[in-house]
């Protein structure tokens, strides 16, 4: 395993308030002991480092929650420790998610000095009414100001927008997207509003108090997004992520290309050495586990070859580049992992592209990703016998 690439995900679970659409592991607390959390995260990190020696660290991603609420000294301590545990790649990408509130924006310079070199900014909208609907704690003017500060302090900046809100039209969204494309960033994350179970929006929807956009209108906005970003030379490289060539999120590409990543912090998921790991979600339970076990793992399980191959297919098809199905099958010593008759039928209908054993979604196919995955992978994946020649190769 010496020198094999590894990504690190660090979860900061705290937020100022809980957004009504959010189903991420986020918690509101009256006070946060920064020193206690620094030591807990460093202990969790040490556990992963012991299990993964001699790896090459290609990226660190601070997600949340709201990591810009983290003391910059904590971010720096984690970066220093991670790059001591593992040899950092020359072009290591270190991303931190941030909100545009002025208090957090004032920390951007310190976070940059701490070693963060890429900021992902949760703008979500340029419209104050939409921001209130989404439960955001910042105004549009604060968002623009935070973006200016971010662009002064970080070499790479991305920001998020949420569209397909109940009152969105093609005219209103195209105007907002045109503005987004004019702001000088080279990466955008553009998410359609989805009603996630357990959120406040889900409760409102159940009471008919939300009125989400119908699926045909949402699909039209997605197609509009694809056309406008492509024309601006920032095409989708993943279902919801758009970038100029060379500015894709390297960290997220590790997920989608099914590479190893260590996950530390409350609720963090990880995938390493064929194992799936999940940390305790509740902050207090995570701290108790650290004190008891010197790590925060709540669940750990070996992935079967069929589970791993299915995950690799699901993740890889999110990418515009698609996946080489035979390569996945070979990696996990399986027979064919797709029904090729169904693949060819979907290629004929214009939903998939075929290039040898590589398959990728077309623009039409990206609208039906879940259906297509269920269709082409609806076969029993049987382990492929390892012959002497295959084992030697």
Same domain, 28 and 160: yes
> Taking the CB of residue 164, how many other CB atoms lie within 10 A of it?
22
- Which pLDDT score, from 0 to 100, does residue 353 have? 96
How is residue 70 annotated by DSSP?
S
Domain presence at residue 72: yes
- Which pLDDT score, from 0 to 100, does residue 390 have? 27
- Which pLDDT score, from 0 to 100, does residue 1 have? 43
Same domain, 82 and 176: yes
324, 306, 319: which is closest to 377 by C-alpha?
Answer: 306
Domain presence at residue 277: no
Range of the domain at 351: 305-392
Question: Exposure of 348 by Cβ count < 10 A (0-12 exposed, 13-18 middle, 19+ buried)?
Answer: exposed
| Domain-ending residue, one of 220, 235, 256 | 256
Domain presence at residue 262: no
Same domain, 230 and 90: yes
- Which pLDDT score, from 0 to 100, does residue 233 have? 97
Helix pair 215-231, 170-181: axis angle to 10 deg: 30
Q: Where do we find the tokens 């894709």?
A: 248
Domain presence at residue 265: no
Same domain, 139 and 17: yes
Number of domains present in the structure of the chain: 2
Domain presence at residue 216: yes
Domain presence at residue 300: no
Q: Which two tokens stand for residue 282?
A: 């509740």
CA end-to-end span of the chain = 17
Same domain, 236 and 337: no
User: Residue 87 CA to chain centroid, in angstroms?
Assistant: 23
Same domain, 90 and 196: yes
Q: Are 323 and 313 in contact (CB under 8 A)?
A: yes
Sign of the CA dihedral with 42 first, then 46, 47, and 51 last: positive
| Domain-ending residue, one of 256, 277, 294 | 256
Q: Are 126 and 89 in contact (CB under 8 A)?
A: no
What is the Cα Rg of the chain in Å? Answer: 21
Q: Are 117 and 156 in contact (CB under 8 A)?
A: yes
- Which pLDDT score, from 0 to 100, does residue 2 have? 53
Peptide bond into 65 cis (omega under 30): yes
User: Residue 273 CA to chain centroid, in angstroms?
Assistant: 20
Residue 35 sits in a domain of what CATH number? 3.20.20.70
Which residues make beta-bridge pairs with 157?
A: 119
How far is 135 from 129, CA to CA, in rounded Å?
Answer: 10
Q: Are 186 and 244 in contact (CB under 8 A)?
A: yes
User: 218-252: string of b/e by CB count within 10 Å (b at 16+)?
Assistant: bbbbbeebbebbeebebebbbbebbbeeebbbbbb
pTM over 0.85: yes
Same domain, 251 and 333: no
DSSP E strands: which ranges in the chain?
A: 5-12, 56-64, 87-98, 118-124, 156-163, 187-192, 236-238, 241-243, 261-264, 269-272, 275-279, 297-302, 323-324, 352-355, 358-361
Same domain, 30 and 93: yes
Per-residue pLDDT of the chain (393 residues; tens, 9 = 90+): 458 999 999 999 999 888 998 888 889 898 899 999 999 999 999 999 999 999 999 999 999 999 999 999 999 999 999 999 999 999 999 999 999 987 788 899 999 999 999 999 999 999 999 999 999 999 999 999 999 999 999 999 999 999 999 999 999 999 999 999 999 999 999 999 999 999 999 999 999 999 889 999 999 999 999 999 999 999 999 999 999 999 999 999 999 999 999 999 999 999 999 999 999 999 999 999 999 999 999 999 999 999 999 999 999 999 999 999 999 999 999 988 999 999 999 999 999 999 999 999 999 999 899 899 988 984 444 444 433 322 233
């Amino acid at each position: 395993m010496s020198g094999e690439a590894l990504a690190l995900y660090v979860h900061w679970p705290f937020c100022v308030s809980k957004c009504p659409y959010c189903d991420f592991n986020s918690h509101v607390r009256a006070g946060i002991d920064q020193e206690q959390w620094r030591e807990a995260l460093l202990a969790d990190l040490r556990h992963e480092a012991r299990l993964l020696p001699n790896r090459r660290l290609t990226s660190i991603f601070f997600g949340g929650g709201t990591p810009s609420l983290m003391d910059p000294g904590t971010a720096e301590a984690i970066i220093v420790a991670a790059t001591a545990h593992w040899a950092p790649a020359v072009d290591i990408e270190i991303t931190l998610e941030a909100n545009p509130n002025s208090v957090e924006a004032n920390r951007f310079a310190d976070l940059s000095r701490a070693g963060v070199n890429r900021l992902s900014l949760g703008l979500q909208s340029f419209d104050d009414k939409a921001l209130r609907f989404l439960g955001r704690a910042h105004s549009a003017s604060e968002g623009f100001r935070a973006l200016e500060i971010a662009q002064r302090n970080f070499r790479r900046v991305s920001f998020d927008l949420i569209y397909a809100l109940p009152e969105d039209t093609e005219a209103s969204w195209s105007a907002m997207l045109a503005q987004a494309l004019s702001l000088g960033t080279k990466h955008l994350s553009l998410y359609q509003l989805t009603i996630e179970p357990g959120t406040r929006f889900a409760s409102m929807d159940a009471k008919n108090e939300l009125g989400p956009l119908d699926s045909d209108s949402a699909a039209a906005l997605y197609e509009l997004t694809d056309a406008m970003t492509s024309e601006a030379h920032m095409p989708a490289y993943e279902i919801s992520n758009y970038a100029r060539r060379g500015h894709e999120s390297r960290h997220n590409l590790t997920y989608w290309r099914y590479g190893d990543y260590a996950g530390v912090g409350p609720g963090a998921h990880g995938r390493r050495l064929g194992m799936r790991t999940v940390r305790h979600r509740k902050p207090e339970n995570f701290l108790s586990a650290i004190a008891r076990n010197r790590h925060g793992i709540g669940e750990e399980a070996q992935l079967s070859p069929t589970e791993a191959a299915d995950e690799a297919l699901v993740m890889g098809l999110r990418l515009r580049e698609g996946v080489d199905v035979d390569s996945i099958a070979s990696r996990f010593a399986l027979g064919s992992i797709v029904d090729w008759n169904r693949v060819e039928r979907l290629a004929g209908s214009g939903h998939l592209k075929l290039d040898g054993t590589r398959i990728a979604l077309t623009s039409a196919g990206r609208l039906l990703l879940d259906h297509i995955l269920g269709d082409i992978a609806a076969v029993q994946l049987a382990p492929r016998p390892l012959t002497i020649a295959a084992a030697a190769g």
